[in-house]
Amino acid sequence: MTTTDGGRAFVFGDNIDTDMLAPGLYMKRPIEEMASHCLEALDPTFAKTVRSGDIVVAGENFGMGSSREQAAMALRHLGVAAVVAKSFAGLFFRNALNLGLVALVCPAADRIRPGDRLSVDAEAGRITNLSTGESHACEPIPPHLAEMIRDGGLLPHLEKKLKKKSV
């Protein structure tokens, strides 16, 4: 399962909605184009500055709103290694894990500051803030989903299972 080391924290508040993550205006367009507008209503520089391995940190109810999984897909496309939040909207949480985007519930997410360097061990459910030296416990990924997440998401997981069946 994903472990990322030294990614920069991009910090957002509560109730970050799917329409900010994946604006309706670009829903028809390829993911490359949609992802370039991810969160622009909040921070027009985000999609341009975020790099592979960086981490999105947020407050309560991250991903509220629509079922559009492009919300999670856009973050993944931009290289975001994990989303760490105090809580997630249930629908977004399922979508993120199904797409292989690590989503961790961390009660201490509000202790992380923009630009902090983080090390995230999803399997162990632990975040180390390399900038402050603090360590934060996260809720473990639901055990029944561990294999799916290890496989990289629902689709590769199903692919593996179907292959096994046909052998």
Partner 1 sequence: MGMTLAEKIIARAAGRPEVRPGEIVTCKVDLAMMHDSGGPRRVAPMLERLGARVWDPSRVVVIADHYVPAIDSDSAAILALTRKWVKSAGVESFYDMQGICHIVLPERGHVRPGLFAVGGDSHSPTAGAFGCFMFGIGATEMAGVLVTGEIWVKVPETHLVRWHGRLRHGVVAKDMMLKMCRDIGLSTVRYGVVQYTGEAIAALPMPERMVLTNMSAELGAQTGLIEPDDVTVQSLRDIGVDAPDALTWKSDADARYVRTWTFDADALEPQVAAPHSPDNSAPAGDYEGVAIDQCYIGACTGAKLSDLHMAAEVLRGRKVASTTRLLVAPASTRITAQAAADGTLATLTEAGAILLPSGCGACAGLGAGLLAEKEVCLSSTARNFKGRMGAHSALVYLGSPYTVAASAVTGRITDPRAVLAERAAA
Q: Nearest approach, Cβ of 156 to partner 1 (angstroms)?
A: 9
Nearer to partner 1, 144 or 167 (CB): 144
Beta strands 135-137 and 102-105 are: unpaired
Least Å distance, CB 88 to partner 1, is 9
Write down the least CB distance from residue 126 to partner 1, Å.
23
Distances (CA, A) of 150 to 36, 37, 99: 27, 29, 11
Which C-beta is closer to partner 1: that of 137 or that of 155? 155
Strands (E), 12-124: 55-58, 82-85, 102-105, 117-121
- Interior CA angle at 103 toward 9 and 64, to 5°? 95
- Residues linked to residue 32 through DSSP beta bridges, in sequence order: none
Closer of 8 and 86 to partner 1 (Cβ): 86
Contacts to partner 1 by CB under 8 A: 14-15, 17-20, 23-25, 27-29, 40-42, 60-61, 64-69, 72, 87, 89-91, 93-95, 98-99, 142, 144, 153-155, 158-159, 162
Q: Could you tell me which residues are beta bridge partners of residue 5?
A: 119
- How many C-beta neighbours within 10 Å does residue 19 have? 16
Residue 52: CB minimum distance to partner 1, A:
22
Instruction: Compare residues 56 and 118 and give the one whose CB is closer to partner 1.
Output: 56
